[in-house]
Amino acid sequence: MSAASALVAWAGCTAGHVFRTVDGGATWDADTVPGAARLDFRGIKAFDANTAVIASAGPAEQGQAHLYRTVDGGKHWSLTWSDTTKGIFLDGIAFWDARHGFTFSDPVGGKFVILTTDDGGSNWTRTAPANIPPVLPNEAAFAASNTQLTVQGSSNAWIATGGGKEARVFRSTDRGRSWTASSSGLPGGTSSGLFGIAFSDAMHGLAVGGDYAIARGPSDRAIRTSDGGVTWSGANTASPDGVSTGLVFMPGSNPPVFAAVGAHGAAITRDLGATWSFGDTLTYWGVSFAGNTGWAVGPRGRIAKYGAPK
């Protein structure tokens, strides 16, 4: 899910579908990207009613690693990048502004595959593997909500991981050209780790995760940082019970407000995870805000819209 404004939002879907509203959700256009019927669009960034970039999740060796861009509201899509290297599996996409963004893949050769763009997604450049820390055995990222990566300011970026023996956070301060990795203090595993990460400014961030094989319970955790993601702590954070799949910062909110979604609904926190206010209990996988207007997406085509929290 990607919100461009209170009126404009785009959503990626299975079977090559992309949905778009330009009237605040009253109506939706459902388009199919030509030749993409086998693709699952789990990464999307909308800039306005006309321009968006999408990333498909799936094994590259099966022809499922693609990036597309449209500048005419989805009438036409340009394939801007694809790869068939075994192991590549795109996990999400994020942009600092209309020109500068990045996407990343599960590791190949022990390193994440990270791509950057400086022209709005028309062209992509791979970050040198030497500038990326090696992953732990089985470490990767969960391609679900498109919030396991996030950007802030003009050059800061973070990636939240799982799958290995511990969940970690990768950080860049130069638009994805170089990276460092920090322990989150949370255990990882085949189905566990961090699923969502967001920052209100360059220093203060929140991350949520758990075990996706368990819909809710003690495995759901929230951690926070006050030093830009160098160190993380779960002290004074409450469990985001059942809402640990996706996480975003509400732009412009002061004090900072974060929204989380998951198998058991949606919740917000105004105190960096110390307490959570829970909303409905419908299942959502992705969430995005433009100002204080938010959108969440879930199974069977569910799309919900949220107004300003009271």
Model's pTM, two decimal places? 0.96
| Alpha-carbon gap, residue 143 to 287, rounded angstroms | 14
User: Phi and psi at residue 57, in whole multiples of 5°?
Assistant: -100, 135
Residue 45 parent element (H or E):
strand 40-46
Q: State which residues form the domain around 200.
A: 2-306
> pLDDT digit string (tens) for 204-238?
999 999 999 887 878 899 999 999 999 999 989 99
Count of the separate structural domains present in the chain:
1
Which is nearest to 96 in space by CA: 81, 117, 79?
A: 117
pLDDT of 253 = 95
Which is nearest to 272 in space by CA: 208, 193, 194, 218?
A: 208
Positions of the chain with pLDDT under 50: 309-310
pLDDT of 310 = 46
What CATH code is carried by the domain that includes residue 233?
A: 2.130.10.10
Question: Quick count: other Cβ atoms within 10 Å of Cβ 301?
Answer: 12
> pLDDT digit string (tens) for 150-191?
999 999 999 999 999 999 999 999 999 999 999 999 999 999
